[in-house]
Amino acid sequence: MKMTVAQQENIREVLWNRLKYRETFDELYDHILTAIEEDEDDTPPHLIADTIIKQEFGGWDNIKELEKGREKNVQSQFRNALWVEVKSYFRVPFIAFTLLVAVSFYFSADYISRKLLMLILFTAVMMPAVMWYRIAPCNRWSRKYKASVKESSANNLGTLGISLFNMLIFLPALFSKQQNYKFMLQAHASLVAVAAAILIIYSVSAVKVFQQNLKTSLVS
Q: Tens digit of pLDDT for each residue in 103-151? A: 999 999 988 998 999 999 999 999 998 887 776 655 555 567 788 888 8
Gyration radius (Cα) of the chain, Å: 24
Task: Clarify whether residues 43 and 77 are in a common domain.
Answer: no
Main-chain phi, psi angles of 142, to 5 degrees: -60, 140
Q: Which of 109, 137, 136 lies closest to 193, judged by CA? A: 109
Q: Which of 32, 57, 82 is the last residue of a domain?
A: 57
Quote the domain boundaries for residue 132. 71-214
Domains contained in the chain, number: 2
Q: Per-residue pLDDT tens for 188-215?
A: 899 999 999 999 999 999 999 988 887 6
Task: Clarify whether residues 149 and 209 are in a common domain.
Answer: yes
Does residue 205 lie in a domain region?
yes
Q: Buried (b) or exposed (e) across 27-47, using 16+ Cβ within 10 A?
A: bbbeebbebbeeeeeeeebee
pLDDT at 142: 59
User: DSSP strand E in the chain: where?
Assistant: none
pLDDT at 151: 83
Give the single-character DSSP code of 109: T
Q: Per-residue pLDDT tens for 21-72?
A: 989 999 999 999 999 988 888 788 889 999 999 999 999 999 999 999 999 9
Does residue 62 lie in a domain region?
no
Task: Clarify whether residues 91 and 162 are in a common domain.
Answer: yes
Does residue 66 lie in a domain region?
no
The mean pLDDT of 143-164, rounded to a whole number, is 83
Does residue 178 lie in a domain region?
yes
125 CB-contact burial (10 Å; exposed 0-12 / middle 13-18 / buried 19+): buried
Task: Clarify whether residues 136 and 184 are in a common domain.
Answer: yes
Does residue 64 lie in a domain region?
no
Calpha distance 166→4 (Å, rounded): 53
Does residue 53 lie in a domain region?
yes
Residue 57: other Cβ atoms inside 10 A: 15
Residues 6+ apart with CB under 8 A from 133: 158
Q: Are 167 and 92 in contact (CB under 8 A)?
A: no
Q: Residue 153: which pLDDT band, with cuts at 50, 70 and 90?
A: confident
pTM: 0.80
Does residue 220 lie in a domain region?
no
**Residue 15 clears pLDDT 90, i.e. is over it:** yes
Task: Clarify whether residues 85 and 132 are in a common domain.
Answer: yes
Task: Clarify whether residues 207 and 118 are in a common domain.
Answer: yes
Distances (CA, A) of 104 to 14, 197, 199: 55, 10, 14
